[in-house]
Amino acid sequence: MEATEETTGRRADRARMPAAARSLADRIDARAMSARVLARVLHEVFPTRAGDEEFLAALDESVHDNVQAVLDVIAGRLRIAAAEPVGAIALMDVLARLGEPTSSVERGYRIGQWEIWEQWVAAARDAAGDDAEALVPLLLEPVRTLFDYIDSILMTVLERYEEHRRELDRARLHQRMLMLRQILDGSHEPAPADAATTLRYDCLLTHRAVALVADDRVAAERALERLRLALEAPDGLLHQDSVHGWALWIGRATPPSAAQQRAFRRELDALGLPAGVSDPADGFAGLRDTLHQARQALRVGQALGVRTSWFADVRLEALLLGEEEQAATFVRSVLGPIGGEDERSARLRETIAAWLETGSHVSAAAALGVHEHTVRNRLRQAEELLDAPLAQRRTELSVALRLRRVVT
């Protein structure tokens, strides 16, 4: 009968392993050894999981599978390459779900390896008795086998662990995006505790949203962290709004101090990124409202060429831009002959804006750096072109001048 690769390899393993070591492996109680390994790994690596029955069951199965496999390899019943640690793979799925780091997985295996070796050495000493020469074959090849097995299995389980972590991350990201999308479109409002778990953000805080233009997620995450720290806020939430558009929420339970607000403004300026900033608002509705405001502020700011735009400063433009075509029609109808791009029209609009803002010819002249008579003459020209007294149209003119910066 032709020998298979597996049987050939097994014979080679048995040939290297001394008969005394194979015999000792047959006599060791795998369940008793694994119980001691389990206790040590739990105590030194996962002490906080001692009360988790699901975790304990998975860890116990993994430890026993590995201990039994090591003894089977030493006894010549199994090749390392053929070992299939089902329990160890299952434990990796549990550890990934629990969010345990890779370092814990590696440390658990190394401590388990050391505990197996200590127990093997004790059993070998008992078997050899006072015969020092008999102890060597009981230790040399078995320790090499133990290390080879752990190295091989550790590579297998870490690959599985990383694969499962990636799967979980994708699933969590999808669930997170779905929940946030439902909150923002108003189709579903989850329980606050469920939202906090999934989004990792307390939706019941008072939020301030920032609509930001950034090249990638790394830049957006860095911006969120800097702004969150500036406001000394416990929570922050990030959402990709478009290809290069990001929505950032920063939540606080209490209003920020004046110093924190100044730090927030400084950080926004230091980011050097186009941004729109909302007013603060509370709860789930606040998430929706602040995002809408931040988007509007960003839009107006980009139209005006302003890097950081605050909704409180462009509230009027944002309101009227809800119907952009009507806003443009309003601007044309109010400004009429002084709404063009020519130099005279621009000069007249500048003068009217200064007059409206300062409230007097003298103050407007000072603001513009011209003589008071120049202001009077320009305002008179504007009245003739508009065929109406400016004083009677203050509101319309003020709104039209502000809107013109955005819609033209």
Helix 324-335 vs helix 394-407: crossing angle, to nearest 10: 130
**Distance (Å) of CA 126 to CA 116, 119, 132, 134:** 16, 11, 11, 11
CATH topology of domain 324-407: Arc Repressor Mutant, subunit A (1.10.10)
Kindly state the tokens that stand for 7: 């049987």
Between CA 343 and CA 349 the distance in angstroms is 10
C-alpha atoms less than 13 angstroms from C-alpha of 74 in its C-beta half-sphere = 32
| pLDDT band, very low/low/confident/very high, at 8 (cuts 50, 70, 90) | very low
Range 218-232 average pLDDT: 95
Looking only at the bridges linking them, the beta strands covering 308-310 and 275-277 are parallel
Mean pLDDT of 153-164: 86
CB 394 within 8 A of CB 383: no
pLDDT over 90 at 233, yes or no: yes
Say if residue 15's pLDDT is above 60.
no
The answer for residues whose C-beta is within 8 angstroms of residue 180's C-beta and 6 or more apart is: 199, 237, 239
The torsion region of residue 186 among left (phi > 0), alpha (psi -120 to 50) and beta comes to left
Q: What is the pLDDT of residues 117-145, one digit of tens each?
A: 999 999 999 999 888 888 999 999 999 99
Q: Which residues contact 389 (CB under 8 A, 6 or more apart)?
A: 383
Indicate the DSSP class of residue 51.
T
What pLDDT is recorded for position 201?
A: 94
> pLDDT tens across 305-333, in order?
889 999 988 888 887 776 777 778 888 88
Give the CA distances from residue 211 to residues 76, 137, 297, 298, in Å, rounded to whole numbers and listed in that order.
65, 70, 8, 6
pLDDT of residue 6: 44
Q: What is the pLDDT of residue 36?
A: 96
- Average pLDDT of span 299-310: 88
Q: How many CB atoms lie within 10 A of CB 33?
A: 21
The predicted structure's pLDDT at residue 292? 92
Neighbours of 72 (CB within 10 A): 19
CA distance 358 to 139: 94
Domain 197-313 has CATH 3.40.50.300: no
* Element housing 210 (H / E): strand 206-213
| Euclidean distance between CA atoms 73 and 287, whole angstroms | 59
CATH number for region 5-170: 1.10.490
In the chain, where the domains are located = 5-170, 197-313, 324-407
**57-94 pLDDT, tens per residue?**
999 999 999 999 999 999 999 999 888 878 888 888 88
Strand pairing category for 281-282 and 308-310: unpaired
In 41-179, beta strands by DSSP E: none
In whole angstroms, give the CA distance from residue 195 to residue 122: 53
- What predicted TM-score, i.e. pTM, was given to this entire model? 0.57
Same-fold call for 5-170 versus 324-407? no
> How confident is the prediction for the chain on average, in pLDDT?
88
